[in-house]
Amino acid sequence: MDTSSSFEESFDQSATETPGYSTMSGDSFAYCRTSSGTSNFSEHVDDNSFASESSPSRWTGVKPAANQAVLSRLGMKQRQQISDDKLDDIELITSELEMMKERFAKLLLGEDMSGGGKGVCTAVTISNSITNLYATLFGQNLKLEPLKPEKKAMWKREMACLLSVCDHIVEFAPTKQTLQDGTVVEMMASRARTDIYINLPALQKLDTMLLEILDSFEDSEFWYAEQGSISGNSARSRASSFRRIAQRKDEKWWLPVPCVLPGGLSDKSKKHLREKRDCANQIHKAAMAINSSILSEMDIPETYMAALPKSGRASLGDIIYRYMYTADKFSPEHLLDCLNISSEHEALELADKVEASMYTSRRKACLSHSKSSWNKVKELMSDTERSDKNFILAERAETMLFCLKQRYPELAQTSLDTCKIQYNRDVGRAILESYSRVLEGLAFNIVAWIEDVLCTDKSMRSRDV
């Protein structure tokens, strides 16, 4: 007991004599908690740690207690900076973790925050998550410029999390395996589902290519000005007082206006713009093809079929119906020219009508031949049966719908497409459809932005002549 008491007294005395290392010091305690579990008492300071000063251990006329206090102050400066950096990293990780918890909770709850089980299914929730993520990060990006690093990191991180679901969507297929004795046996093995195996890597490649296209415009010869915000004191505005507002659609007045110098763009810059435009255009076609393929594989909801009109005439109207049925040689291009479609809204309305008449005619053809599948009807019908009115109308409506979508590639989704997405229960198809849809939109925007810049350059050059 005496030995223990003397040890405690000596420890208390040593702690009092060395205030720089006091165990009750707030700074010292905080440092030990955030930086390392090693005690400060065992800290070794190298003589070469401070190049501009001589080593503190060789200073003369300094008492040991003061020497230790100086060491503590010098060491704490550097340690405090490291501690602050680590604290920032911890805060960043914590905020990201909280965000991922929120995303995960919404997925489980089906976006029903009340927890009452009235939320949408998992497929629709993931589809909405991808769509909302795209709108959050790219919705305000209306210029031909690189995406901000933090937004790009967020896009890659959260998309990787959402797409990771596809790693667990598999199908079983028979495979042959040879045993050690040479016996060949057939067994079922799991593999990635065919549509995911084919389309997901392609979409990820298209995603990377689109981000690379935006990154290539970091140093450009054009810039943007908000409509009506070009200042007369700006050097660039003094060099060029021109803003391309003509030929800009009136309903898109909120878009920033591209500007170029009076001499226009250099040949190198124009070549770069055209190459990226062609690349983005090909990406748009590829994403649109994947999206159309996925939508065609989705089941048609019963609610849509129940709401169809009883006849194609009721859906199309007398004029279009009469032309589609009575014309000996049907030309969808000629019919579209005669309709004089003046807006995207009119084109979408016509697409809904044509699609509805197509499925109405298909349903009638299937009922008349006692078949449940349109593909089976086409395969089994003879040449004489192909003169059936419903078959002709269905074929011509499908051709016209295809031409309409080709003429208006920016056309929004039809009522059937929206209904399919809403009632779809397949998680894999929901991911592929939403991913291809947002990439299709981004590619189309990039093409439009490049066309704006090239048109501005052309207008500037014609202005200078």
Per-residue tokens: 12: 């208390």
Full 3-state SS string of 244-290: CCCCCCHHHCCCCEEECCCCCCCHHHHHHHHHHHHHHHHHHHHHHHH
Domain with 265 in it: what CATH number? 1.20.58.2010
pLDDT interval class at 370 (50, 70, 90)? low
Average pLDDT over residues 153-173: 92
CA-nearest of 131, 117, 106, 124 to 419 is 124
Same domain flag for 147 and 88: no
Residue 77 covered by a domain: yes
CA 2 to chain centre: 73
Domain with 350 in it: what CATH number? 1.20.58.1310
Same domain flag for 200 and 63: no
Same domain flag for 310 and 419: yes
Same domain flag for 148 and 271: yes
Residue 106 covered by a domain: no
The number of distinct structural domains making up the chain is 3
Q: pLDDT tens across 248-306, in order?
A: 544 567 788 888 888 888 889 999 999 999 999 999 999 999 999 999 999 999 999 99
Strand partners, 171: 191
Residues 6+ apart with CB under 8 A from 430: 123, 124, 126, 127, 421, 424
pLDDT interval class at 378 (50, 70, 90)? low
pLDDT interval class at 415 (50, 70, 90)? very high
pLDDT at 119 exceeding the cut of 80: no
Same domain flag for 262 and 358: no
> What's the rounded Cα separation, in Å, for the pair 158 and 264?
40
Phi and psi torsions of 46, nearest 5°: -70, 145
pLDDT of residue 457: 87
pLDDT of residue 278: 96
> What's the rounded Cα separation, in Å, for the pair 110 and 125?
6
pLDDT of residue 384: 44
Average pLDDT over residues 106-132: 83
Same domain flag for 24 and 173: no
DSSP assignment string, 26-65: HHHHHHHHHT-SS-GGG----TTS-TTS--GGG-SS--HH
CA-nearest of 226, 206, 284 to 450 is 284
Same domain flag for 260 and 366: no
Residue 360 covered by a domain: yes
- Range of the structural domain that residue 389 is part of: 299-423
pLDDT of residue 57: 40
Which of 66, 101, 136 marks a domain boundary?
101
pLDDT at 229 exceeding the cut of 90: no
Higher pLDDT, 227 or 95: 95
DSSP state at residue 23: T
Same domain flag for 96 and 131: no
pLDDT of residue 111: 74
pLDDT interval class at 4 (50, 70, 90)? very low
Residue 434 covered by a domain: no
Residue 163 covered by a domain: yes
Same domain flag for 86 and 134: no
pLDDT at 67 exceeding the cut of 60: no
Q: pLDDT tens across 80-108, in order?
A: 555 666 777 788 778 777 877 777 777 77
Q: Is 424 left (phi over 0), alpha (psi -120 to 50) or beta?
A: beta
Phi and psi torsions of 186, nearest 5°: -105, 130
> What's the rounded Cα separation, in Å, for the pair 251 and 228?
16
Which of 46, 67, 101 marks a domain boundary?
101
Same domain flag for 263 and 191: yes
Of all residues in the chain, what percent carry a pLDDT higher than 70? 71
Residue 451 covered by a domain: yes
Per-residue tokens: 411: 């056309």
pLDDT of residue 181: 87
pLDDT at 71 exceeding the cut of 80: no
Average pLDDT over residues 324-351: 86
Strand partners, 178: 184
| CA dihedral sign, ordered 369, 375, 380, 383 | positive
CA 440 to chain centre: 10
> What's the rounded Cα separation, in Å, for the pair 359 and 377?
13
Residue 113 covered by a domain: no
Residue 382 covered by a domain: yes
Same domain flag for 354 and 452: no
Average pLDDT over residues 165-191: 89
pLDDT of residue 35: 32
Same domain flag for 77 and 133: no
pLDDT interval class at 465 (50, 70, 90)? low
